[in-house]
Structure 1
Amino acid sequence: MSVKAKKHLGQHFLKDENIAQKIANTLSFKGYNHVLEIGPGMGVLTKYLLEKDVTTHVIEIDTESVEYLKANYLNLASRIIEQDFLKYDLTQVFNDEPFAITGNFPYNISSQIVFKLLEMRGQIPEFSGMFQKEVAQRICSKEGSKVYGILSVLTQAFYDATYLFTVPPSVFNPPPKVDSGVLLLKRKENFTLPCDETLFFKVVKTSFQQRRKTLRNSLKTFNLSDNLKANVIFDKRPEQLSVLEFIELTSLIEND
């Protein structure tokens, strides 16, 4: 028995054992006792996680995959969460305990997975996994890059992001049309920002909605004082600002 990949779920099953093992080895397994795998499919990565000295949980929305996992990974059965990761309240499983996340993420929800990670950053010290290559690169990119954007800034405000390796389409069934990339996010020791964090998210998102414009133009809706708008930082476009500069910018707006 095997599971048929479903297009509407963005499923591309990894079939390369070496890569599965490499992904399992991206995490340090230190500072937490639980790992959550998103979208395990037929368990190619899961089996390597189960060898680790942590408790592995999986969350899977596809009923067929869940049945397969229950039949083939008996020791996992009680830790299969048959839910939509984006909608499910993970505190029902982990309470307030820390846990890591990994997976071969469905392409169609990969950015939303990162946004949920950021919402739960207080509980997730480590995160790794496979994305479309361009998404993985965007998350890890620095200011000045064409792909630097909202995901890059928000993620790197709280996590150190490392692009680890590229994975070709041929190791998946069905093969996707593009390369994939594996990354690692390790939460910063001090992941509390020295500014209003809600405002920070708003400033970053608003800035990049008009990424070709200067911040003076893109942040008009904030009704900033003329005095503040005279600051040279507002001459810049959002992709020119580092994460630290976005934090400084938020503080300036907060104190305007």
Structure 2
Amino acid sequence: MNQLNHDSPPSIRAFLQSRDLAPRKRWGQNFLINRGAREKILSLLELEKDQNVWEIGPGLGAMSGALLDAGVRLTLFEIDPAYCSWLAESLVSGRLTIIEGNVLRTWPAQWSEAAPQRILGNLPYNMASSVIASFIESDRVAPLSVFTVQDEMGRRMKAVPETKDYSSFSVLCQTSAYLQDGGRLSPGSFYPAPRVHSRIMLLRAGTPCGEILNPQEFRLIVRSLFASRRKTLGNNLNAAVRLKGFPGKEKVAEAFAAEKIDLSRRPETVSPEEWVALANRVAQSG
């Protein structure tokens, strides 16, 4: 068997070839070969012995071995059956669980069994927002998550109002967790090298903008009124009232008036704090 060096593209390439494998673009298989970046992520996780830790997309296990060495109970979510076989072969531990399949389908059952204290993942660019949103929209945000995402995604997560990156996803993230920028990674930190930079993002569970009285209704209001960024809040509201579960138009309009948010504004001008205040007023109106 070829000795695998997680820092070396030639070693990774030779290892994959020995097993008749290759990185798959559709699954976002870009391995983090930057040892310094991996060590930084481990430090950012603030690990303690016996914590329940989830790793999404472990790939060939560059981070996984170090996590087990830290004494945690580790659950790996990996979609590639061949990588699952390698992880089971190379990481023999009574503190390890490997879950094969699409994490969006498999994580809820695992949460019910044992909620994680930490989550990390080098998330595929084509599904990073879906993974993060799935935790937030299920009201299942771990105490601390450390995700590596596309640089553009990181900017969207922490964007401020009246900027091109600010969106309903920005509001979702900023009202459900305390965000911290963990730093930018160059394409050369990965093999194969992607065409864009990446960013490490930390999410600490909390309510930075205050408690949300009805989270499900809050998310529906925000998504619906962000539906057309170029339209005013009033025009988006006119369209949103046809959506199932959306509060009455008059109730929402009254909440906007009470919060002194003019319906002639566009959604990207409304701050996360204003969205929370608006939705809470709607919730309180019964």
- The answer to whether TM tops 0.5 is yes
CA contact (8 A) 1:203 1:219 kept: no
* Counterpart Cα distance in 2 of 1:67 and 1:44: 15
Q: Following TM superposition, by how much is the alpha carbon of 1:94 offset from its aligned partner in structure 2, in angstroms?
A: 5.3
Query: What aligned pairs does 1:163-202 form with structure 2 within 5 A after superposition?
Result: 163-188=181-206, 193-202=211-220
Distance change (3 Å), C-alpha of 1:8 and 1:122? closer
Query: What aligned pairs does 1:202-217 form with structure 2 within 5 A after superposition?
Result: 202-217=220-235
In structure 2, the residue matched to 1:246 is 275
* Counterpart Cα distance in 2 of 1:230 and 1:114: 29
In structure 2, the residue matched to 1:225 is 250
CA contact (8 A) 1:159 1:191 kept: no
CA contact (8 A) 1:45 1:103 kept: no
Computing the radius of gyration from Cα coordinates, the structure with the larger value is 2
In structure 2, the residue matched to 1:16 is 34
CA contact (8 A) 1:36 1:58 kept: yes
* Counterpart Cα distance in 1 of 2:113 and 2:209: 20
Q: Following TM superposition, by how much is the alpha carbon of 1:235 offset from its aligned partner in structure 2, in angstroms?
A: 2.9
Distance change (3 Å), C-alpha of 1:123 and 1:202? closer
Counterpart of 1:224, as a letter, is K
* Counterpart Cα distance in 2 of 1:11 and 1:132: 13
Q: Which stretch of the first structure deviates more once superposed, 134-143 or 227-236?
A: 227-236
Q: SS state of the match for residue 114, structure 1?
A: helix
Distance change (3 Å), C-alpha of 1:115 and 1:16? same
Counterpart of 1:38, as a letter, is I
Distance change (3 Å), C-alpha of 1:203 and 1:139? same
TM-score, normalised with respect to structure 2: 0.81
In structure 2, the residue matched to 1:111 is 129
* 2:162 is aligned with 1:144: yes
* Counterpart Cα distance in 1 of 2:281 and 2:207: 24
* Counterpart Cα distance in 1 of 2:223 and 2:50: 31
Q: Following TM superposition, by how much is the alpha carbon of 1:119 offset from its aligned partner in structure 2, in angstroms?
A: 3.3
Counterpart of 1:248, as a letter, is A
Distance change (3 Å), C-alpha of 1:167 and 1:196? same
* Counterpart Cα distance in 2 of 1:209 and 1:104: 29
TM-score, normalised with respect to structure 1: 0.89
* 2:113 is aligned with 1:84: no
Counterpart of 1:157, as a letter, is T
Distance change (3 Å), C-alpha of 1:75 and 1:100? same
Q: Following TM superposition, by how much is the alpha carbon of 1:199 offset from its aligned partner in structure 2, in angstroms?
A: 1.1
Q: Per-residue CA shift, 1:212-232, capped at 9, x if unaligned?
A: 222111111335229628724
In structure 1, the residue matched to 2:8 is none
In structure 2, the residue matched to 1:161 is 179
- Stretches of structure 2 that go unaligned for 5 or more consecutive residues are 1-14, 242-247
Distance change (3 Å), C-alpha of 1:186 and 1:250? same
Distance change (3 Å), C-alpha of 1:165 and 1:210? same
* Counterpart Cα distance in 1 of 2:55 and 2:170: 22
Q: Which stretch of the first structure deviates more once superposed, 26-35 or 38-47?
A: 26-35
* Counterpart Cα distance in 1 of 2:146 and 2:31: 17
* Counterpart Cα distance in 2 of 1:17 and 1:211: 41
RMSD in angstroms over aligned alpha carbons?
2.6
Q: SS state of the match for residue 204, structure 1?
A: helix
Q: Which stretch of the first structure deviates more once superposed, 137-146 or 230-239?
A: 230-239
